[in-house]
Amino acid sequence: MTTYRDGVREALRDALIRDERVFLMGEDVGAYGGCFGVSRGLLDEFGPRRIRDTPLSESAFVGAGIGAALGGSRPIVEVMTVNFSLLALDQILNNAATLRHMSGGQLGVPLVIRMATGAGRQLAAQHSHSLEAFYAHIPGLRVVCPATVADARGMLWTALADPDPVVIFEPISLYNSDADLPVDAGAVDIDNAVIRRAGTDVTLVAYGASVPVAADAAEQLAAQDISAEVIDLRSLRPLDEATVLESVIRTHRLVVVDEGWRSVGVAAEIAARAAEHAYYDLDAPIGRVCAAEVPVPYARQLEEAALPQSATVVAAAREAVGVR
């Protein structure tokens, strides 16, 4: 069995071996092995030129990554947790995302920014954000979120091949999850959503840490003779609305599971697109199961209460199919 954390590490190792232009930079990625242990051992294997510890200045090292990408390198910038990325927002939004447009297509920024996201580990309000919706709002960025060990292993190389900046969100709560990973596991598609479980009665759409929640809910629903289809979005920008709409046309019901806040979030965007393009195929109102509209609490029982749980998803799906 391979953990999600080890899958990301193998992706980093593979990229460093395959392309001399690739290097990793960020806070504590070297000797310490990364805040979540993802880069442990890579400094010894590849040396300080390829594994670079940076000062505690997100704006500075993200900016350095943009410059390196413009200069022909393929940098991987690790931001410790998503909340710290706000300190580099000017670099990400005003530089990385806009340079191709501002240069009339002359300058691309082939930069990969990795950041840990989400709650579930009692890291309290300042380190438990799910800000994927904000970054998915920005033209010029590609935004992806691997939910499985295979995708954690495979998305990085595909992202490095992109001529424009890619932001990879790695859910903190998934780092210890594990699965069988083939020895020849490699790059995976980051353009299309994937159906993780086929179903006929209701569509459950999720991404990142919400995918196992939706999958568990689908198992419980199956025991109640309700067939739920589970879609893992994988990519949030661009959003593969075709896969979602095709599923809704088959099942006629939709529930979206999102660890982010409900207001102006990913779930709201998916619900809007379904209403725009599949309104006459829907047999019930669209359900949204999201985080409570509060800063994420520290206490474990309050943190769990604030986050989407499989029982809540089951209740929303039962309501969608007309079973109370």
Same-domain status, 11 and 142: yes
CATH number for position 198: 3.40.50.920
Lowest mean pLDDT among 61-70, 115-124, 191-200, 312-321: 115-124
Which residues does the annotation mark as catalytic?
A: 58, 127
Q: Is 247 left (phi over 0), alpha (psi -120 to 50) or beta?
A: alpha
Same-domain status, 64 and 151: yes
Q: How many domains does one find in the chain? A: 2
Residue at token pair 């999850």: 177
Residue 187 domain-assigned (yes or no): no
Tell me which residue range forms the domain holding 248. 194-320
Q: Are strands 254-261 and 287-291 parallel, antiparallel or unpaired?
A: parallel
CA–CA distance, 137 with 143 (Å, rounded to integer): 9
For the segment 279-309, what is each residue's pLDDT rounded down to a tens digit?
Answer: 999 999 999 999 999 999 999 999 999 999 9
**What per-residue confidence (pLDDT) applies to 324?**
67
Same-domain status, 61 and 153: yes
Taking CA atoms, 166 is separated from 58, 80, 112, 236, 301, in Å, by 17, 16, 5, 11, 35
Q: Are strands 228-232 and 194-197 parallel, antiparallel or unpaired?
A: antiparallel
End-of-domain residue from the set 153, 179, 205: 179
Bond into 75 cis (ω within 30): no
Same-domain status, 94 and 213: no
CA–CA distance, 102 with 168 (Å, rounded to integer): 24
| Average pLDDT rounded to a whole number, residues 104-128 | 94
